[in-house]
Amino acid sequence: MTKNFSYQLLGENLGRHPVFLFDFDGTLAEIALTPDEVNFKPITKYLIEKIAGSLPVGIISGRMLGDLKKLVGINGIFYSGNHGIEIEGPGLHFIEPASSESINLMAELLKELKQKLSRYKCLIEDKKYSISIHYRTIDPKRVNDLLFDVSRILEKPLNRKEIKILNGKKVVEVKPPVEWNKGKGVEIIMRHLKNVDTPVFFGDDLTDEDAFETVNLLNGVSALIGNERSSTKAKFKLGSTHELTGLLARFISENLE
Ligand SMILES: [Mg+2]
């Protein structure tokens, strides 16, 4: 059973040297209609900066690394884009090697998807190593048709095992066919940091489950944001991004000031 998270539970489960890791969309910022419209609130940025002044911090997102860094705009923290494929931070620069081989195929698929799906007006995001097809903005009645067309376009490369498909919140992700995910991203950051004992990870979506699993194996603290999903590997649950900022504010005022 996933317990409701609280400040007390955070304290009870935290070692002496924690690292705070976060997903971005739906975790540090409310999910917006389109990725470009996301609002990373100044208060959240302030809290993250404050924690990063004393402890290692990382943000692990499905967004492209460059996009994520620009949106967050905090120096000296770890950033991971494309679900762990790209990672950058103090003394760390990592790109999952096999993913680079998919760049040309992704460019071809991007062109085809944009051409064949233009009538839906969905947002097709080029993330270099992967493609996201966002359908939050389209008429719900057309979603099934869209998903059918997407599956037809991706059928061949999928059967040839040239790509993998991941479903998130109103998004289909086309990814390189590698065994790589946010959990591996957590591992890379943990191995790099060496002297941390407790990974703490907050995430809201299916793609965060791999990170929850890794964090649990490392005896860390995993927490799911939101009440939409009942089944999760996260040890704890928090109702909203708003509750998360409240928890972080209290953690800072009682531990870091
Ligand atoms: Mg998310």
Rounded to the nearest angstrom, the distance between the alpha carbon of 221 and the centre of ligand 1 is 17
Q: Is pLDDT above 80 for 1?
A: no
Rounded to the nearest angstrom, the distance between the alpha carbon of 29 and the centre of ligand 1 is 9
At residue 7, the pLDDT reads 93
Rounded to the nearest angstrom, the distance between the alpha carbon of 205 and the centre of ligand 1 is 5
- Binned at pLDDT 50, 70 and 90, residue 257 comes out as confident
- For the chain, the domains span 3-96+180-256, 99-175
Contacts of 99 (CB under 8 A, 6+ apart): 82, 85, 129, 176, 178, 180
CA atoms of 209 and 186, how far apart (whole Å)? 12
Rounded to the nearest angstrom, the distance between the alpha carbon of 10 and the centre of ligand 1 is 21
Architecture of the 3-96+180-256 domain = 3-Layer(aba) Sandwich (3.40)
CA atoms of 51 and 20, how far apart (whole Å)? 8
- Beta strand 171-175 with 131-134 is antiparallel
Q: Out of 3.40.190.10, 3.60.90.10, 3.30.70.1020, 3.40.50.10860, which CATH number does the structure's domain 99-175 have?
A: 3.30.70.1020
- In the block, tokens 């957590």 appear at 186
Segment 73-77 long-range contacts (CB within 8 Å, at least 24 positions apart):
73/45, 74/45, 74/48, 74/49, 76/52, 77/48, 77/52
Picking from 56, 54, 40, 44, the residue whose alpha carbon sits closest to that of residue 245 is 44
At residue 229, the pLDDT reads 83
- Binned at pLDDT 50, 70 and 90, residue 205 comes out as very high
pLDDT, tens digit (0-9, with 9 covering 90-100), for 102-117: 999 999 999 999 999 9
> Quick one: which H or E segment has residue 223?
strand 221-225
Rounded to the nearest angstrom, the distance between the alpha carbon of 93 and the centre of ligand 1 is 23
Q: Round the average pLDDT of the chain to a whole number and report it.
A: 96
Q: Is pLDDT above 80 for 57?
A: yes
pLDDT, tens digit (0-9, with 9 covering 90-100), for 63-83: 999 999 999 999 999 999 999
Separation in Å, CA 149 to CA 35, 114, 167, 174: 22, 12, 15, 14
Q: Is pLDDT above 80 for 92?
A: yes
At residue 194, the pLDDT reads 86
